[in-house]
Chains A and B, each alone.
Chain A
Amino acid sequence: MERQSRNLLITSSPPYIKNGETVHCLMFDVIISLVPAALFSIYVFGVRSLWIIFISSMTAVITEGVLQLLFFTKEFNYKTPILSFIKSEDITVTDGSALVTGLLLAFTLPPTVPYWIPIVGTVVAIALGKLAFGGLGYNIFNPALLGRAFLLAAWPVYMTTWLATINADVVTTATPLSMMKEDGQLTPIINLIVGNVSGSIGETSVVALLLGAAYLFYKRTITWHIPVSYIVTVFVFSLVLGMPAFFHVFSGGLILGAFYMATDVVTSPCTPKGRIIFGCGAGIITILIRKYGGYPEGVCYAILIMNAVAPLIDRIKR
């Protein structure tokens, strides 16, 4: 205002024009891309999964908002809390990244979990996975996966009780991967692609996830390097180890992990070459866990392990 009235010019360093893309855009693109898979899970697992998604995302936003208010804000005017909250430059909860974390964490939970599980999981994801490192941009591990890993270690029974599909919410059953691991039973590929199988809320339908991924590619929010190298490695490596390759590509959380978790920009390498190495590494670890590990599913740990080496991969210059 003062500048306008005194008719001064603004100087700054070039360039003076910027494209409109912001962190908000990136995050809200991811949120939009998750909608088909969310709708599908509500259709398949019933309104319970809607509640889990809702609780998880709300907890994430509230946790981030409150913690940033408590620990990150230098000045805060408590007389006008709402305005100060929105205007504060230190409180970045409005950028949507907490919402993405909450949604993604919900997507990795079984639809049978008690409602306090997503609350605990997202608090851990946001507080320990993200804000403890300094907030968005500084975190080493994918917060949603860190929350899931915590839940899986703390309450393994809740985290491995699965629902049969199409609203039959009394019948518990096993996921395709655990059926494979324990009984050697192969689920038909077409069921895996449509999503007519049991599993975590957001991971079952390959079609819905690919629809969202197509949107992300269209908006150039993600690049092809990580998903393609990840999936191709899983395919090739499972062939090498004599496992059913198509089954491993389409079962479990691989599609969700490859397109939404591994591509998290903060915790993956920056360069195209680094991203391909990252995808290949995650693919190999996934198959090793599925084949030799104690868990039927390895995507979560594979990506977390690769997150830890991402800074190292980035040292390989272009």
Chain B
Amino acid sequence: MGLLTFSVGGIHPNDNKLYTANLPIENLKAPKQLVIPLSQHAGAPCKPVVEPGQRVFMYSKIGEPTAFVSASVHSSVSGKVIEIRNHPSSTGRMVLSVVIENDGKDEAVELEEDEDYINKEPDVLKERIKQAGIVGMGGATFPTSVKLSPPKEKPIDSIIINGAECEPYLTADHRMMVEKPIEVLEGLRVLMKVLGVANGYVGIENNKKDAIKYMVSACAGFEGIKVLPLKVKYPQGAEKMLIKSILNREVPAGGLPMDVRVVVQNVGTAYAIYEAVRYNRPVVERVVSVTGAGIKNPKNLKVRIGTQIKDVIDYCGGVKAGVSKVIAGGPMMGFALYSTDIPVTKGTSGIVALVEQGLTHYEKYRACIRCGRCIEACPMGLMPQMFSVYVERGFYEDCKDYNLFDCFECGSCTYVCPAKRPIVQQIRLAKTLVKR
């Protein structure tokens, strides 16, 4: 098969997508109380622009960016602000959050529809994207408006929509492409217009045959857009891998996609962009796959931002007995939660509950046997075992000799390690200590 893929490394975990791959997206009713974090993005947290006791409408702005790399936050329901306090987030940190009591009326700020959005000036479109508070919805949550403002000396010639969704279990992007192919492609067209680019690509892993079919037929009406099936291989959906697969360009060490004239955006982000430029609608909800062997009735849900994860799980029938781990995001790069009193944010692509069985906790790992499995698996061509051994010995600085900061923590090395060493954790430790 001539499917596109990257050349170095990669692994083939069981994708486990059948739990939710064929289930249409359902709307989850907004709960009584929402906790909307003011930092749902990479970059500076927002400052609150509402006060306790104040009435807010759906779509009204509650958090204002304080820096360039930041994204505004909007209320996803109408109701009353109860308090503004620190609340735990999925990353484990405490984040300043606005607690809103939902009045159930969903009274919205009036939004102006602009049917002729595609003929607007790039700057106008970019401003709408910025106002809508759009961030990378695949999980990295980098503010989209920043990604769309490359410096002048770095021209962009291609945009890739990331439909690989290589994380096992997750099907949010998959369902989005099946159910809203036109909207996703419209989002891509807006991106191409904003950046003045003629080439748009959509890369989809070949285990999503129906998504490829719908996207290919939808793409007929679009000029300069190609839908490309990709080989199923983790981490196919990592920016650098995707660029290598589709355009055969290599992002330099320490560089960004724009260094090779590319911008990559997630499927969910493209949809949000379409909503923003056409309807001026900010990001107040997102599609979340609630899945895994530990969920009674796995579903794909459209969830209001700020809904507590426990409310989402309850709607899916709750968890089965023996659940030991609930993950925000996918099982390779997501965050294991210590509690389900944590809100869904713009970056929560999935809620995966894993049961004790089949999930092994290695509290004590073994000595590295230098088998080289991690080296074979590393998509960046690094030597993960060196980081692991160095960190164990406390030689953090020496990790830099092996290009520590090229690692994007995809977890492939740890997945394959027969000695069950926590390599990603050790790499993160080294990164933190070396930066200091």
Within the complex, which residue of A4, A89, A265 is in contact with B370, where a contact is CB–CB below 8 Å? A265
Does any Cβ of A come within 8 Å of B334's Cβ? yes
Find out whether the CB atom of B372 lies under 8 angstroms from the CB atom of A271.
Answer: yes
Q: Which residues of chain B (225-251) have a CB below 8 Å from chain A? A: none
Q: Are B327 and A16 in contact (CB under 8 A)?
A: yes
**A→B interface (CB under 8 Å):** 3-4, 8-19, 21-23, 25-26, 89, 92, 134-138, 223, 265-266, 268, 270-272, 275, 317-318
Segment of B253-261, B265-273, B295-303, B418-426 in the binding face: B418-426
Q: Are A271 and B418 in contact (CB under 8 A)?
A: no
Q: Looking at chain A's contact residues, is the secondary structure mostly helix, strand, loop, or mixed?
A: loop
List residues 1-57 of chain B with CB under 8 A from any CB of chain A: 11, 13
Q: Is B359 an interface residue (CB 8 A)?
A: yes
Residue from A4, A13, A23, A89 within 8 A of B422 (CB atoms): A13
Q: Does B333 lie at the interface of the complex (its beta carbon under 8 Å from any beta carbon of A)?
A: yes
Chain B residues with CB under 8 A of A21 = 373, 416, 418
CA distance A271 to B428 in the complex (A): 23
- Does B364 contact A89, Cβ atoms closer than 8 Å? yes
Residues on the B chain within 8 Å of A265, using CB: 369-372
**12 additional A-B residue pairs with CB within 8 Å, beyond A18-B415, A21-B416:** A9-B323, A10-B361, A12-B336, A18-B360, A18-B416, A18-B420, A19-B416, A22-B418, A271-B383, A317-B383, A318-B375, A318-B382
Chain A nearest Cβ from B92, distance in angstroms: 8
A92 touches B327 (CB 8 A): no
Contact with A14, one of B339, B376, B419, B424 (Cβ below 8 angstroms):
B424
Q: Which of B338, B359, B402 sits near A17, CB closer than 8 Å?
A: B359
Q: Please provide the chain B residues from 95 to 115 with a CB less than 8 Å away from any CB of chain A in the complex.
A: none
Query: Given A10-B336, A16-B354, A21-B416, is A270 in contact with B385 using a C-beta cutoff of 8 Å?
Result: yes
Please, how many angstroms separate the alpha-carbon atoms of A11 and B354 in the complex? 12
B435 contacts chain A at the CB level, 8 A cutoff: no
Proximity bits, B326-369, A CB within 8 Å = 1, else 0 = 11000111111111100000000000001010011100101111
Do B370 and A11 have beta carbons less than 8 Å apart?
A: no
List B contacts of A19 (CB < 8 A).
11, 13, 415-416
Closest to B419 in A: A23
With most chain A CB atoms within 10 A of its CB, the pick from B364, B366, B371, B422 is: B371
Q: Is the CB of A137 within 8 A of B359?
A: no
Known: A14-B424, A17-B331, A19-B13. A25 touches B367 (CB 8 A): no
User: Are B372 and A136 within 8 A (Cβ)?
Assistant: no
Tell me the residues in window 160-180 of chain B with beta carbons closer than 8 Å to chain A beta carbons.
168
- Which of B337, B360, B361, B414 is A9 in contact with, Cβ under 8 Å? B337
B367 contact set on A, CB distance < 8 A: 134-138
**In the bound complex, what is the Cα–Cα distance between A17 and B367 (angstroms)?**
20
What is the bound-complex CA distance between A268 and B369, given in angstroms?
10
Chain A residue with the shortest CB-CB distance to B364: A89
> A134: nearest residue on chain B (CB-CB)?
B367
* B370 contact set on A, CB distance < 8 A: 137, 265-266, 268, 270
Q: Is the CB of B383 within 8 A of A270?
A: yes
- Check if B383 sits within 8 Å of A9, measured CB to CB: no
Find chain A residues with CB under 8 A from B213 CB.
none
- Across-interface contacts of B382 in A (CB, < 8 A): 318
Chain A nearest CB from B299 CB (Å) reads 20
The complex places the Cα of A265 from the Cα of B375 at a distance, in Å, of: 13
Given the interface pairs A23-B366, A137-B367, the reply to whether A16 lies near B418 with Cβ below 8 Å is no
Contact across chains for A14 and B368 when beta carbons are under 8 A apart: no
- Do the beta carbons of A9 and B339 come within 8 Å of each other? yes
Contacts of B414 in A (CB 8 A): 14-15, 18
Q: Are B424 and A223 in contact (CB under 8 A)?
A: no
Residues of A within 8 A of B138 (CB): none
Decide yes or no whether B147 CB sits under 8 A from chain A. no
List the A residue with the shortest CB-CB distance to B429.
A13
